[in-house]
Structure 1
């Protein structure tokens, strides 16, 4: 299967984000001299070390951290969910908007981490961005289907199930999820309005 067919299968934005994450992990592995586990030194530069952001002016870290992973299992699970959920959302709202949801949600989760966790914390991963994509899917479904109460319950359950395991950054998950839900609520309203107009036009 050619690269272009993967873009078609998963969506251009989703598969591009996948490729960026994989490329960054390869760089991490080379710098760490270990393909399975990334060194603390590399994570301190490419991930988000709160102290470095707050006191050493490492302003890039809240951005780069959403593409950085700590080991091969970490990136494997995250990239699986990116391809599954990102491709679904991309079919609904389009390529540029999926990229926007990923970046804004990931940044929201990392900023929440920055201000609510201690300076010595180092965090990394696409989880905040992925929770944003999941949150957008959940609220779009809730708005279009007219059942926001169930959508909020689903989002809450998703957060509880995935955010309180050892080593998991619950703040990144929460920030990404809330941001994704807000974006999804907006696009859900847009989609529902278009569907209402289309139904009214067909009716008359």
Structure 2
């Protein structure tokens, strides 16, 4: 396989999939993926533990899953959406968006979600990827393909958030935080060779928005 084909591979998407599958395998061999103690050991989010200083639990939950169906749905979504977005942004920019979207989603859950539940899953990051596509449709309004993707992902976001309201044990706050974070990050992290699509004003507004969002959510979460 030549160097060009290697660059075309969505390596980061594959790596993220491998990590969450390996974490899930560890859960299965250490008490099971429904065992609260096992999930906490694997890095799931528990607000009280974050308040005690275990800040990494705002990031590690994106690699932890509860049950086979949870892992399967999130893995399939990551595979298809991740490949699309990694081809747009490249591996490292895609990884940064994925991780920061997950952080933003978990911060929103930390601020407004249950203080006593164990939360885990890649959906905070995945909703961030949905939010990125919505913003790309705005920044590249003359691109019919991106505009169409943007509209479809906006419908997907609305459908899922409405469904969240009627489903138990779904962290809707994490999903909302992921969407907002991804939409803002798309205004900061430019598509390679398309930096002109983001003006300094847009970047400044989005950087301010991310900093305020993350800072306020962390402050609210710590003060509960």
The interval holding the TM-score normalised by the smaller chain is: 0.7 to 0.9
Report deviation, 1:156. Answer: 5.1
Q: Distance in 1 between matches of 2:75 and 2:105?
A: 18
Residue 168 of structure 2 is aligned to residue 169 of structure 1: no
Provide the residue aligned with 1:122 in structure 2. 118
CA offsets, 1:79-113, max 9 Å, x none? 00001001000111110011111100001111111
Residue 196 of structure 2 is aligned to residue 193 of structure 1: yes
Q: Distance in 2 between matches of 1:75 and 1:152?
A: 21
Report deviation, 1:191. Answer: 3.0
Q: What is the aligned residue count?
A: 185
> Structure 1 residues 159 and 142, CA, compared in 2 at 3 Å: closer, same or farther?
farther
Q: TM-score, normalising length from structure 2?
A: 0.72
> Structure 1 residues 124 and 11, CA, compared in 2 at 3 Å: closer, same or farther?
same
Q: TM-score, normalising length from structure 1?
A: 0.79
Root-mean-square deviation (Å): 2.9
Provide the residue aligned with 2:23 in structure 1. 24
Report deviation, 1:152. Answer: 9.0
Provide the residue aligned with 1:53 in structure 2. 50
Q: Where do 5+ consecutive residues of structure 2 fail to align? A: 1-5, 198-224
